[in-house]
Amino acid sequence: MTPPSLPLLYSYRRCPYAMRARMALLQAGQPFEVFEVVLRDKPAALLQLSPKGTVPVLRLPGGEVLEESWDIMRRAFATADEPHWWQAAQSPANLALLQRNDGAFKRDLDRYKYPGRDPDENRSRETVRADAEAALLLPLEARLQAERWLGGERPCATDLAIFPFVRQFAAVEPQWFGTQPLPALQAWLDAWLATPLFAACMAKLPSQEVVRFPMLPALSLR
Ligand SMILES: N[C@@H](CCC(=O)N[C@@H](CS)C(=O)NCC(=O)O)C(=O)O
């Protein structure tokens, strides 16, 4: 059997962690194959590589397995032409934002999206929403008032890592979100949603089989 020549990404189209991994691979110009997972029917091959059973998971041609989206992004940008994408994401401010996103904000995002699902949650939905806003959206607004992207004049991995989660939050109550005094954040989200990079990452592909992910020519966000 010939060894695989391309990285294989186990992915789920609507998962924000998988979106950030796909965008990093696309932006870095790293060709890859993808297996679109059905979460209630995970393939044995995935569980063998990564028993914790979350996506994304990246299997590299040499056999190495990356089980966390941030590690996949790191690996993607390690070979990219533009070191800024990864380097700018290493500032203490950006690492702190990522931690807020993946921690308090993500927890409250799930509670806001699915009220009543967590029996231990006793805050009202409005309080959950306000707490999520305070945890991430207000600090993000302050940053984006000062700089166009989280990478400064150019975007970086932190932008890619966070905006899929803000997108989900905004989509819960779009009218409410659109009327909040968060102009820089709203403009940043709209800009990301309009990028060819995001459109490419959301390509609809057959599920439950390995297919080559369609790549994009060089992308520019300037
Ligand atoms: N820390 C992980 C989180 C990944 C994660 O939680 N992915 C969700 C989908 S969005 C998942 O696979 N959940 C397992 C399931 O729903 O069965 C990462 O950054 O990759």
Q: What is the CATH number of the domain that holds 145?
A: 1.20.1050.10
For residue 220, is it within any domain? no
32-82 tens-digit pLDDT: 999 999 999 999 999 999 999 999 999 999 999 999 999 999 999 998 889
Residues enclosing ligand 1, CB less than 6 A? 12, 15, 17, 39, 53-56, 68-70
- Distance from the CA of 147 to the center of ligand 1, in angstroms? 30
For residue 129, is it within any domain? yes
Residues 182 and 98 reside in one and the same domain? yes
- Distance from the CA of 11 to the center of ligand 1, in angstroms? 10
Residues 98 and 126 reside in one and the same domain? yes
Residues 96 and 155 reside in one and the same domain? yes
**Nearest atom, ligand 1, residue 56 CA:** 20
Residues 183 and 206 reside in one and the same domain? no
For residue 182, is it within any domain? yes
pLDDT > 50? residue 222: no
DSSP-assigned letters across all residues of the chain: -PPP-S-EEEE-TT-HHHHHHHHHHHHTT---EEEE--GGG--HHHHHH-TT--S-EEE-TTS-EE-SHHHHHHHHHHT-S-THHHHGGGSHHHHHHHHHIIIIIHHHHHHHHSTTS-TT--S-HHHHHHHHIIIIIHHHHHHHHH-SBTTBTS--HHHHHHHHHHHHHHHHSHHHHHTSS-HHHHHHHHHHHTSHHHHHHT----BSSEEEPPP-S-----
Say if pTM beats, i.e. exceeds, 0.85.
yes
**For residue 148, what are the domain limits?**
85-195
- Distance from the CA of 165 to the center of ligand 1, in angstroms? 13
**Nearest atom, ligand 1, residue 54 CA:** 12
Work out how many domains the chain is built from and give that number.
Answer: 2
For residue 157, is it within any domain? yes
Residues 37 and 103 reside in one and the same domain? no
Ligand 1: which of 35, 54, 160 to mutate, most ligand atoms within 8 Å of CB? 54
Residues 180 and 92 reside in one and the same domain? yes
For residue 45, is it within any domain? yes
- Distance from the CA of 145 to the center of ligand 1, in angstroms? 31
What percentage of the chain exceeds 90 in pLDDT? 93
Residues 97 and 186 reside in one and the same domain? yes
For residue 219, is it within any domain? no
